[in-house]
Amino acid sequence: MSKTLSLRALVFSLVFFPFLVLGQNITGTVIDGASSMPLVGANVIVKGTTNGTTTDFDGNFSLDISEFPAVLEVSSLGYTSVEQTLNQAESVTITLQESTTSLDEVVITGLGTSIKRSNLANAVSSVSSEELVGTTSQTTVDGALYGKVTGVNITSSSGAPGGGFAVRLRGISSINGNNQPLIIVDGVYINNVEIPSGLRLASGANAANEENGANRLADLDPNDIEDMEILKGSSAAAIYGQRGNAGVIIITTKRGKLGKTKINFSQDTGFNTIANPLGMRPWTAQSVEDTFGPDERDKYEAVIASRGSLYDYEDEIYGDTGLITDTRISGSGGSEKTKFFIGAGYRDEEGIIANTGFDRFSIRGNIDHEISNTFSITSTSNYVRSNSSRSFTGNENEGGLSYGYALAFTRPWVNLYPDANGNYPNNPNYSGNSIFVRDNAKNEDSNNRFIQGMTLKTNILNTEKNRLKFVLSGGVDYLSNSTYVYVPETHQSHPDPQNPGFIAVGNNDFTQFNSQAVAVWNNDALANGDLGLTTQAGVTYLYQDRDNVLTTGAGLLANQTSVDNSAVQNVFQTRSEEKDFGMFAQVEGNYKDQIIATLGYRLDKSTRNGDPNEFFGFPKASLALNIANMDFWNVDAINQLKFRTAYGETGNPAQFGSTFTSYASTTIGGPVGQTLAGLKGDPNIKPETAKEFEIGFDVGVLNNRINLEATYYNKQVEDLILTRSLPGSSGFTQERTNLADLKNTGVELALSGDILRGENATWNSRLQFYKNTSEITRLDVPAFAQPGAGFGTGLGTFYIEEGQPVTQLVGNIDGELQQVGNVEPDFQMSWSNNLTLFKQFDFSFLFQLKQGGENLNLSRFLTDLGQTSPDLETPEGQDRLDSPTNALRFVEDAGYLRLREVALYYRLPSKTVEKLLGGNIEGIKLGVSGRNVFTVTDYSSYDPEVSVNGGAGLSSGIEVTPFPSAKQFYLHLNVNF
Amino acid sequence: MKNIYNKISYIGIAAVMMLFASCTFDEQVDPNGPSVDGVESNATIGQLNELVVGVEASARNGIAIETTASGTMARELYLFDADPRNTGDLLGKNGIGLDNNSFYSTSQWNGSYRCIKNANLLINAATNSNAVSDEERRGYIGFAKTMIAYELIQMVKSYDRARVDVADENNLGPVLEKDEALAEIRTMLNEANTDLTGATFLFNLSAGFNGFNDASSFAQYNRAVAAMAAVYAGDGGAAITALGDSYFDLMGDLNNGPKHLFATGGNDALNGLFKLQSTTVENQNNGDQIIVHDSWINDAEPGDTRVANKAALRPDPTASQDDLVGAYETRLYASSTSPIDILRNEELILLYAEASMLNSSPGDAVTALNVIRNAAGLPNYTGGLDDASLTTELLNQRRYSLWCENHRMFDLRRFGLSNTLPIDRAGDVIYNTLPIPLSENE
């Protein structure tokens, strides 16, 4: 019984504490080393026993101890645990220091259980609230993760406020299907859909994923998050079965703690500004004439003569400073029985383009209530209203809407400003006037979202050796989204020139419902309970439906913005319904915290599979050896040495509709008819299955002052579902079926240390390194250009080919297909630092490095064609114009080094606060911070993090005139009452 | 201890019972569209007629790109729009080759074969349906085969080859060379003609087929397509015979013939060859415009009314894109819902002229060419009756009668004259055949 410590022991001891022992009473106080403030809710346990308690709201505890000397183990989430020896009954003060990686923190890994980090067999990354939003203000959860987790790759498809991110864990796990991790917030499966607006029908973009919409994780306020756990691979996520292929992100929101009610108010005020303006081609009269002829030179000279300079449309369109405000107030607290957290936040963010922005109002109520020793319930409620206005960027065809596309052809001596009567001139060199579009056209969406989770825990049995509980939980995520696209009838270009003007109104309803029943049995086996066995078994059910209705109108009445004021109306509807059902069982054995082994199995079926009632099995097994806990270990300097290995399988069913081969409706001036929809479905489609093997070790030196985590993984995805091009002569253009295998291997290293631990200076630093390489190991069909991921081999495309990385870019170079690049980075690194000086100043910064990885910069294709690329006054630029417009010409290295976050905070000393404002205020914190402060890169466009195809599938690394990225600066005020 | 294990096993049993009680999922049905299998066995007349609409509607697929791509390659027009490949690849800018995985090579191929697949599915559905009599069944099949044949001819024109046997998507036949493909196409047309004889149409075609919407009048369209195939195959005799059974009429309305209709409905399509007219320098439409190649204007005989009917001077004739310039822009279609002729009498008269030349009847050829010339406000042909002179005259009349209708590139290719085209920019290359799409795995 040397070091057994777990949550269940704690619960057990709390429940049975009154009956256990009577001894001498000791009292003490636990304080936070950084702030010297009392620490509420810290666990205090007499080592080697189940005798323990938690500190009250003044940080005080009291314990009866029967035998001396006794060792007190004191721990708290986010702090390094401390052991203190007591030789007699006395009063003690114990100081806990914050830790970057706390080995004692509890990690949720099963569906009904959790495990201490020090016993974990997988490299599960945790991100605390402090790491997520503690440095600077964040708009979205996924955007806040940059540089904070090993093994993650984040792609941004738009710099518009409100995001547009794709998170990939350990490489690509699906080529056409879902690559986004499963996101679970307080037990509720969250919808992270990217909702198309029908904008493509006005702009001529090729597909819905070129509309660059936001993914709806944007609705979750990052400030509500207490903790995130990231199960990156199949070995960690196996218990999630066929929803776990792309990894799982488990988010826990803030909850009330025992103690007096705390009120927190915080205000962030900041601004957005373009991160990296590209500038204008430095035209001369001669170069204008050489390029466009003498007529244009006359126009150029006329403008120079009349206003002294050219029109800087990049600055005009992207040069705004967008104000950001983020206001939050929350209250939390609780008694022994009932704990609560209520909070509300409002964020309003303007973009760098006029009339763009994002705002989100979020209100949350989290309640935990213990009905009796047997029953407890928790409820998590979150209502969100968010709105965004994203305007027009990215790819298009003749829409005249996308700013970057239009500016590529806009000559800076052409006046696009409205005249005195408000009439905007046509753009003579492109199909749209960007100033007109910015001022008059709209692309907006709004969301009403309600997320509710419920858990009922029943302690069925509580004996010395056995504890059995039954956990029933469920949740619903209801999202009602509406989109609105408006292009006035006075715009230059129209999809239907006879019916100018365009409106698209989308009404999109999404309902997700998940429920789960788990029985968990804790059994202390062997003679003295040396072997802790945790067995769980249960069932899960997931239901999702969506109903998307898009109504469009063309031929608008003058100045009218409603769809019924149009001459030609169309309606499109898309529906889907999915159901998943799974069963699972898992046994975990813990021998004296020395050997921890887990075996588990999950069975799943889904209506998205060919046979909706066929079960697929997903096994898992893992082993962790805590060498430093073993009896023979006598190296004091190394307090942790753990070898761990894990294997697990997960799945991913085909996306909805893959089993169907269907007709679409069509007409030709008369009754409705049927035409083949072009996608050949597979009625026997199986889920993609990933098998991952992970091995690694963790070392903790000098009582965890320095920690190293090293992990290698090998993830094989089998039966990949591919949407491949069929020979067009078959009448189908695409087929979706199981066709390939894919291998991802990678290394993740994380080194963290408390470099300084002084009274007046502490410094935590964390250095991360990770890399992933992929290879298609089987392909049943000839190599093919991935539809919808690129613009064909002429300009470069993702190309699925056996023996090659799944992320390779291939182009047609002089008639031969050739690999021109690979969007996968060679490796990525991040370096985060937190310094606290004189207990009052916090300085933190985060650097992120992406080495290698290529992009196809097709913005340059357009600016070259329009002769507006900034470098065209140089001989190199001119030489480029003479080279063929193939993929080789546009591929660029997309590596970068970025100061992702930096902040300085000042905490007013509590005495000053008391003197100034009286005793009601506990603490005041002031700060300044910046996000994306600077970037070092050779990439020639706005931001190497880019994707014209949104977040789905393979998307990343192909650029067509995106919404430029912004940098942000903030002032912060935080008050605790 | 026993007790505990009992309790646990009770809970286990309860859990297992819950599993059995858990729902069995129903077989899934696509909520967004009818399934292909549902129509293939025992279709109703309503379903068959829906497939007919699908065939006719999908015959419009890819028509705009097909026309502008071949027109650009044949230097009769430029397409100034957002996609730079329209003025780059298609003109071989800086020597760049044509790509077999770009929209200009894939859209028309995929579009035509979609229509062909719809027609093949219709043939299957009609064959397997108990709802129709033999005469009615032959109506569906004759219609479908004729539509397939027409689409296959478009493939030969663009790609110089075609995959003819495509009924089974899992066992596609070979891609045939032009002559072989045309032979198969002609056989198919003759089969369809046999099917149509005495058949009954239970279905209505769109108003674009007014005058060709029952079995016997549709057969006239079948013969017109057969005449076209025969001429392309160099079989003048068969062409003359087929023309005799078609709506070919030297005295008749040149515009008579079936048309593709366009409309603004949700599931309908617009005429992609219509471009907004430029009226002033300020509102000149340069961003999405079909520019007439200057040589088409400059080479026209004075007084040819087709020039003024089909093209108009641009307000700013110097406006360029990608170093290309043309003073005139298209006026071929008045609106985005203007119909596009599938095969009009004017083309049949030109086919008659060509068939007559193949049959060594230059007099008949001149008669036909004069009909065309006179209709365009030009005097009778006065040139020589030798083959070379007549060929020049024929190609010239085709060039002006069928401008921007997807003929010029094929006409020059089949007469071996592609290399006579002008080069507009230094470094440009002339191509006269599109590459077969990459996805065909050739």
Residues A90 and A165 in one domain: no
The verdict on residue A410 lying in a domain is no
Q: For position B273, what pLDDT does the model report?
A: 95
Q: Tell me, what CATH number does A62's domain have?
A: 2.60.40.1120
pLDDT at A99: 59
Orientation of helix B345-358 relative to helix B215-232, angle to 10°: 40
**Cα–Cα distance between A101 and B63 in angstroms, integer?**
63
Confidence of residue A20 (pLDDT cuts 50, 70, 90): very low
DSSP string, B104-149: HHHHHHHHHHHHHHHHHHHHHHHHH-SSS-HHHHHHHHHHHHHHHH
Identify the CA nearest to A189 among candidates A248, A232, A129: A248
Phi (first) and psi of residue A576, to 5 degrees: -155, 155
Distance CA B436, CA B279 (A): 40
Residue B19 pLDDT level (bands cut at 50, 70, 90) = low
A587 in any annotated domain:
yes
CB contact under 8 A, B439 and A728: yes
Contacting residues of A for B23, CB less than 8 Å apart: 579, 581
What is the CATH classification number for the domain harbouring B188?
Answer: 1.25.40.390
pLDDT tens column, B155-204: 999 999 999 999 998 899 999 999 999 999 999 999 999 999 999 999 99
Sign of CA dihedral A968, A969, A971, A974: positive
Same domain, A93 and A223: no
Domains held by chain B: number: 1
Confidence of residue A18 (pLDDT cuts 50, 70, 90): very low
**Tokens at residue A712, please?**
């290698």
**Angstrom distance (rounded) from CA B350 to CA B411:** 12
Query: Once rounded to an integer, what is the mean pLDDT over residues A208-227?
Result: 89
**Tens digits of residue pLDDT in A723-762:** 878 888 998 888 888 989 999 999 999 999 988 888 888 8
Residue B310 lies in a domain: no
* B28, part of any domain: no
Distance (Å) from the C-alpha of residue A196 to the closest C-alpha of chain B? 17
A464 in contact with B, Cβ within 8 Å: no
Verify whether the Cβ–Cβ distance B28 to A659 is below 8 Å.
yes
pLDDT at A362 over 70: yes
Using the predicted structure, report yes or no on whether residue A261 has a pLDDT greater than 70: yes
* Chain B hits for A607, Cβ within 8 Å: 25, 28
Question: Residue B31: phi, psi to the nearest 5?
Answer: -75, -10
Q: What confidence tens digit (pLDDT) does each residue in B319-367 have?
A: 888 889 999 999 999 998 999 999 999 999 999 999 999 999 999 999 9
Please identify among residues 83-102 of chain B the ones whose CB lies closer than 8 Å to any CB of chain A.
83-85, 88-89, 93-97, 99-102
Q: A936 pLDDT band (50/70/90 cuts)?
A: very high
Q: How far apart are CA A147 and CA A153, in angstroms?
A: 9
Last residue of some domain: A98, A116, A140? A98
Report ipTM for this prediction.
0.86
Given a cut of 80, whether residue A587 has pLDDT beyond it is: yes
Tens digits of residue pLDDT in B132-160: 999 999 999 999 999 999 999 999 999 99
Residue B302, in any domain of the structure: no
Residue A556 lies in a domain: yes
**Shared-domain flag, residues A737 and A774:** yes
Residue B29 reports pLDDT greater than 90? no
Which residues does A550 contact at the CB level (< 8 Å), separation at least 6? Answer: A198, A483, A504, A505, A506, A507, A571, A572, A573
Q: Is residue B390 part of a domain?
A: yes
State residue B3's pLDDT score.
59
Residue type at B11? I
Write down the pLDDT at residue A120.
84
Q: What is the pLDDT of residues A63-76, one digit of tens each?
A: 888 778 888 888 87
Percent of chain A with pLDDT over 70: 95
Show the tokens assigned to B128.
């397997």
Q: What is the pLDDT of residue B14?
A: 62
Percent of chain A with pLDDT over 90: 54
* Rounded Cα gap, residues A138 and A152, in angstroms: 18
Rounded CA-CA distance B37/A755 in Å is 68
Cα distance between residue A229 and residue A227, in whole Å: 7
* Mean pLDDT (whole number) for A272-280: 94
Question: Tens digit of pLDDT for each residue in A429-475?
Answer: 888 999 999 999 999 999 999 999 999 999 888 887 888 999 999 99
A93 and A131 part of one domain: no
Contacts of A570 in chain B (CB under 8 A): 265-266
- Kindly tell me if the per-residue pLDDT of B9 is higher than 70: no
Using the beta-carbon criterion (under 8 Å), do A427 and B7 form an inter-chain contact? no
Is residue A812 situated within a structural domain? no
Number of domains in chain A: 2
Range of the domain at A931: 127-276+320-401+441-617+626-781+823-853+894-976
Specify the range with the lowest mean pLDDT, choosing from A300-304, B58-62, B276-280. B276-280
Instruction: Please state, in angstroms and rounded to a whole number, the distance separating the CA atoms of residues A861 and A846.
Output: 34
Which of A204, A396, A784 faces B439 most closely, judged by CB atoms? A784
Q: Does A673 touch chain B (CB under 8 A)?
A: yes
Domain check: are A81 and A184 in the same one?
A: no
Q: Is residue A807 part of a domain?
A: no
Say yes or no: B314 contacts chain A, CB-CB below 8 A: no
* pLDDT, tens only, A183-205: 999 999 999 988 999 899 888 88
Quote the CA–CA distance of A336 and A135 in Å, as a whole number: 33
One domain, residues A77 and A164? no
Question: What mean pLDDT comes out for the span A837-858?
Answer: 92
CB contact under 8 A, B172 and A730: yes
Closest-CA distance, B237 to chain A, in angstroms, reads 32
* DSSP3 helix / strand / coil % (chain A, rounded to 5): 15, 50, 35
Q: Is residue A238 part of a domain?
A: yes
- Tell me if A667 and B441 make a contact (CB, 8 A cut-off): no
Q: Would residue A106 count as lying in a domain?
A: no
pLDDT score at A514: 93
Question: Looking at chain A, which residue has its C-alpha nearest residue B435?
Answer: A815
Given this model, what pLDDT does residue B6 score? Answer: 63
Q: CA B393, CA B372: separation in Å to the nearest integer?
A: 11
What Cα–Cα distance (Å) separates residue B209 from each residue in B50, B147, B351, B363?
Answer: 16, 12, 21, 33
Q: Residues 110..129 of B with a Cβ closer than 8 Å to A: which? A: 110, 113-114, 116-118, 120-121
Q: Report chain A's mean pLDDT, rounded to a whole number.
A: 88
In a domain, B87, yes or no: yes
More confident residue, A920 or A380: A380
pTM: 0.82
Measure the CA angle with vertex A314, ends A312 and A317; round to 5°.
Answer: 110
B26 located within any domain: no
Q: Same structural domain for residues A182 and A329?
A: yes
Neighbour count for residue B420 (Cβ, 10 Å): 10
Nearest to A843 by CA among A827, A858, A831, A832: A832
- Chain B residues close to A670, C-beta within 8 Å: 53, 204, 206-207
When pLDDT is cut at 50, 70 and 90, the band that residue B11 belongs to is: low
Flag whether pLDDT at A914 surpasses 80: no
pLDDT value for B22: 56
Task: Check which CATH number belongs to the domain holding A397 and give it.
Answer: 2.40.170.20
User: According to the model, what pLDDT value does residue B295 have?
Assistant: 96
Report the distance separating Cα A972 and Cα A358, nearest Å. 20
Which A-chain residues 700-759 have CB contacts (< 8 A) with chain B? 725-733
* pLDDT at A677 exceeding the cut of 70: yes
A951 part of a folded domain: yes
Distance CA B67, CA B271 (A): 12
User: How many angstroms from the chain centroid is the CA of residue B230?
Assistant: 18
Rounded Cα gap, residues A913 and A175, in angstroms: 56
The answer to whether residues A157 and A92 belong to one domain is: no
* B53·A432 Cβ contact <8 A: no
Q: Nearest C-alpha of chain A: how many angstroms from B156?
A: 13
Assigned domain for B381 exists: yes
Using one digit for the tens of pLDDT, what is the confidence trace for B104-143?
999 999 999 999 999 999 999 999 999 999 999 999 999 9
What does the pLDDT read at residue A2? 40
* Predicted local confidence at residue B211, as pLDDT: 95
CA dihedral A753, A756, A757, A763 (to 10 degrees): -70
User: Would you report the helix, strand and coil content of chain B in percent, each value rounded to 5?
Assistant: 50, 5, 40
Q: How many residues does chain B have?
A: 442
Domain span at B182: 40-263+339-423
Is residue B331 in some structural domain?
Answer: no
What is the arithmetic mean of pLDDT over A520-525?
87
**Are A644 and A693 spatial neighbours (Cβ–Cβ below 8 Å)?**
no
**Residue A553 sits in the same domain as residue A591:** yes
